[in-house]
Structure formats: structure tokens, C-alpha cells
Structure 1
Amino acid sequence: MMRLDKLLGHTGWGTRKELKELCKGGHVTVNGTVCRDSSRKVDPFADAVAVDGEAVVYEEHIYLMLNKPAGVVSATEDNLSPTVIGLLPQKYQGAGLFPVGRLDKDTTGLLLITNDGVWAHGITAPKKHTDKVYEAVVAGTIPDDVGERFASGLVLADGLHCLPARAEQTGEDRLTIVVQEGKFHQVKRMCAAVGLRVTKLQRRSIGALVLDEALQPGDFRPLTEAERELPFSSKNPFQQEKNMVL
């Protein structure tokens, strides 16, 4: 059981003050009867709640795949820049959603968003060693031994010892990079350690979950039940195709 205003807030119908007025105005019904008490306890799975005749559909946990565009930050709120949560419609704004891990402001691609803390921790926990595949466009001459240097475990300028990673040249100025960590600006800093500057970076996959190519930058969709398990796979989907075994 939960308070009616909590249920309505979770599903994006407004702030607690707005919901109180909504109920007082007779806009909310519970099982077909007008309810003017926003503090009333309801069963979100058994009671039929509606606002002006529109059914309120409750989901305890939400799992979304977002194609993150450049220029937005991986945060729930920010005073200076738009956030990934702000890209979502109103119905998601009260659900307590947050990004799973982060992508840099100018990095694009696969970002997961949820309100399930246990699920998120299972993906981001360092001990999981989950493959994350990136496509990087770089400036500079790609060293012939770039793969060996990444595989040996790079030491960055600040002394950070990176886990063994994988880099494969896929074009004159392009690399496919697989890492199992998510340190601050890590892929860019690893490229800098071999004399390269990243000009464009996109995350393609987390574990076995691949970014849906039908999603345009800024678009999102819910994950299917089967897709929710894919980030926990320790092997990336491009491994066999590229022979990229860590």
C-alpha cells in the first residue's frame, strides 16, 4: 500500500502540492469513485486509479535505454547543463530515475537509466569486469602497437594503472576500444597516453546489450525483460566478430 499522492507523483502527475489540489478538485478517482484525499492509501497493483478518466499505470522499477546525445550530462540535475533525465517525458520525472554510471558530456551512445539501485550496482560494480565497447574517432597517428599497449595495461599521466583493455584500428582515424572500467574520462586519457586525441566517442554496448540503432540521439525506449539481463554478460557482442578476447 502507498499514499495516493506518492503513486501519482511516481507516475509524473505533479508535485505533492499540485496533486493535493488535483484531488481536491475532484479530478482523481479510485475504483471509479472520486477521491479528494491525496493521503489515502491505495494498492498500486490492485486499485484502479485515474486522473480525469485517464488510467494511472504504476511500474515500481523502470529500465530504459537512451541514445545519449552530446551536450547533456549524465546526472539527475545540474545547474549549468541539461541532463539525461531532463530528456525524458513528464511521466518519468517523479519516478526517481538516475543514469547507470556516466558518459562524459560530449560522449554519445548507450546509457542506461533506472530507479532500481540493486540492478544498477550489479552493472557498475568494478568487480564485475563488464566489457564496455566504444567507437573512437581520433586525431594523431595511431601507433602500430596500439593493441599491445592497451592490452598491457596503460599507466596514465596521473599514475592510474588501467586494467588490460583492447584497442583495434578500424579506420584511418578510428579505434574500437573495449574497457572494463569507468574512470573519469578514461577512454580519452588512455588514448592520450598513446599520443592520440579523441574527437568523437560513442559507447556501443555494455556487456551483451547493444545500443538500438533505431534510436536517434536523444531517443529512448524501455528495455525488454530479456534485455535487462544482457549487461551482466561478461562478454561483449563484438568479441567473436572482432576476435577481441580480453
Structure 2
Amino acid sequence: MRLNKYLQLSGVASRRKADELIKSGQVTVNGEVVREPWHEIDPEKDLVSVRGKAIRAMERPVYYAFYKPRGVTSTLSDRHAKKTLSDYFPHGTPRVYPVGRLDRESEGLMLLTNDGDLSYRLTHPRYGVIKTYRVAVSGGPLTDGELMRLRSGIVLDDGPFRPKKVEKTGSRELLIEISEGRKREIRRAIKCIGREVERLVRVAIGPLRLPEELKPGEMRPLDEETVKKLRESVGLS
């Protein structure tokens, strides 16, 4: 097996980052520095270390859909947070990492995986992965003028808010699609039209949709067909 592939499957880094680690001389095989990402190793016999630390045995890629509840910090650990994602992991859950983030007051779909390549592509702006949200706002019925402002783009402190889609689904409810995902982007845009977000739920990441039967705090493994579609959506086989 190629060294960069081994690092990726072990959850150390994405394939691209693994290449960088190897080329910069930070990876050793049986104590010898190897600088060729394509170097062949035997996972059963060779000892691979990164920055002097032996990495764990190669892990099988795993994928979970998780419904992040409102009020939960979307990291695995945070000493300042009341609750984090790992508080909801059943005993024996493999080592996985969240792909992207949801702010503490938002809820909905998160992907948990140890697939570094997929994680990198789903979060990198270059791949333009669409994230879909259902949003309920404060106040009376939304007006055509407010919808037009959201659709045409709103200038925020860190750049323009340019949604791919804004659809009115109820008197005070919206379906919003974005491909960037800057910090609290939707909440800030809604505030610019004089309203507040009362509820924000992420319902899709690319082709991956939040399972209807999944309740807040629950997670479930993705089937092979779903994983295949998700990887293919960002150019991975």
C-alpha cells in the first residue's frame, strides 16, 4: 500500500496533507525518513511514524450521519462547553471527526468520519459543496422585498452573502442553500433584513440528506451507496 494512502486511511490527514507531510521529511518508515508519497509499505509489518510519533494501525473508513442538537458545541472536546459531540457517541464508536461545524444554537446534519480526503473536499470552497438549511425567522410574514434582498446578496463584514437558493416555504420559514459557510453567515444575513433566526436546521450536505427518522442526538452509519454518491459528488472514487 502507498504511504500517503496509509496515512489517509489511518485518519492522520487528507491525501493532500499526507503528501506534504511526507515530502517535508516528517514521516518515517521503520525509523528511516521517506519523502516519496508513493513509497510502498506493508501495513502489517512496517512501523510508520509522523513527527516521531507512531500512528495507530490502519483504520477502516467509517461514516456517520449525526443530528446535532441545539446547544451543543460542534467539536469533540472543549473544556468551556457544556456539551460536545463526543457526549453523544455510543460506547465503542470508532475514532471519527466532524466535517465542518454548526454554531452552538443551530441544529441538524453533521457528517462524522475518519476519511480525510472526503472531509477536505466537503469543506474546501473550491469544491463548492451545497449545504441546505431550513430557517424560521422572527416577526410577521416575510415580504417580497425581504426575499429579494436575501436572493440578490447582502454585504457582510467579511464579504458578501451569496446564497445559491432562497425559497419561502412558510410565512416565516425559508429554505436556504449556500456553498461557503462562513461563521454564522445565515444568522448575520437575516439580521440585516431586520429579523432574528428563531430556528436553523441543516438538512443536507451535498447529496447527503438528514434522515427523517433521525432524532436530535442520534447517529447512524451511512450505507455503501450513500458513501459512494457522497464521494463521487466531490470527485472521489
Fold similarity call, TM over 0.5: yes
Q: For 1:81-92, list aligned pairs within 5 A.
A: 81=81, 82-92=83-93
CA distance in structure 1 between the aligned counterparts of 2:186 and 2:138, rounded to whole angstroms: 14
Give the conservation status (yes or no) of the 8 Å contact 1:154–1:164.
Answer: no
Q: Which of structures 1 and 2 has the bigger CA Rg?
A: 1
Whether 2:136 is the aligned partner of 1:137: answer yes
Q: Given the superposition, is the C-alpha separation of residues 159 and 72 from structure 1 closer, same or farther in structure 2, using an over 3 Å criterion?
A: closer
CA distance in structure 2 between the aligned counterparts of 1:203 and 1:132, rounded to whole angstroms: 7
Q: Given the superposition, is the C-alpha separation of residues 109 and 90 from structure 1 closer, same or farther in structure 2, using an over 3 Å criterion?
A: same
> Structure 1: 5+ residue runs without aligned partners?
2-9, 11-41, 44-57, 235-246
Give the conservation status (yes or no) of the 8 Å contact 1:130–1:231.
Answer: no
CA distance in structure 1 between the aligned counterparts of 2:189 and 2:212, rounded to whole angstroms: 27
Structure 2 partner of 1:184: 183
Cα offset, 1:92, TM superposition: 2.0
The residue type equivalent to 2:88 in the other structure is L
Cα offset, 1:181, TM superposition: 1.2
Structure 2 partner of 1:70: 70
Cα offset, 1:159, TM superposition: 4.7
CA distance in structure 2 between the aligned counterparts of 1:197 and 1:78, rounded to whole angstroms: 27
Structure 1 partner of 2:25: none
Q: Given the superposition, is the C-alpha separation of residues 162 and 230 from structure 1 closer, same or farther in structure 2, using an over 3 Å criterion?
A: farther
Give the conservation status (yes or no) of the 8 Å contact 1:132–1:207.
Answer: yes
Structure 2 partner of 1:34: none
Give the conservation status (yes or no) of the 8 Å contact 1:147–1:166.
Answer: no
Structure 2 partner of 1:146: 146
CA distance in structure 2 between the aligned counterparts of 1:208 and 1:90, rounded to whole angstroms: 29
Give the conservation status (yes or no) of the 8 Å contact 1:139–1:196.
Answer: yes
Aligned length: 180
Aligned partner of residue 149 in structure 2, secondary structure: helix
TM-score calculated relative to the size of structure 1: 0.66
CA distance in structure 1 between the aligned counterparts of 2:195 and 2:111, rounded to whole angstroms: 28
Cα offset, 1:199, TM superposition: 0.8
CA distance in structure 1 between the aligned counterparts of 2:163 and 2:204, rounded to whole angstroms: 18
Cα offset, 1:59, TM superposition: 4.7
Deviations 1:55-78 (A, max 9, x none): xxx952211100111121110211
Hey, which bits of structure 1, 4+ residues long, moved more than 4 A? Answer: none
Aligned partner of residue 130 in structure 1, secondary structure: coil
CA distance in structure 2 between the aligned counterparts of 1:190 and 1:116, rounded to whole angstroms: 32
Deviations 1:134-171 (A, max 9, x none): 11111024231334323322212x25212343222211
Identity of aligned residues (%): 35
CA distance in structure 1 between the aligned counterparts of 2:101 and 2:90, rounded to whole angstroms: 20
Q: Given the superposition, is the C-alpha separation of residues 118 and 189 from structure 1 closer, same or farther in structure 2, using an over 3 Å criterion?
A: same
Give the conservation status (yes or no) of the 8 Å contact 1:107–1:200.
Answer: yes
Q: Given the superposition, is the C-alpha separation of residues 159 and 111 from structure 1 closer, same or farther in structure 2, using an over 3 Å criterion?
A: closer
Q: For 1:93-172, list aligned pairs within 5 A.
A: 95=95, 97-141=96-140, 142-156=142-156, 158-172=157-171
Q: For 1:219-230, list aligned pairs within 5 A.
A: 219-230=218-229
> Structure 2: 5+ residue runs without aligned partners?
2-9, 11-42, 45-57
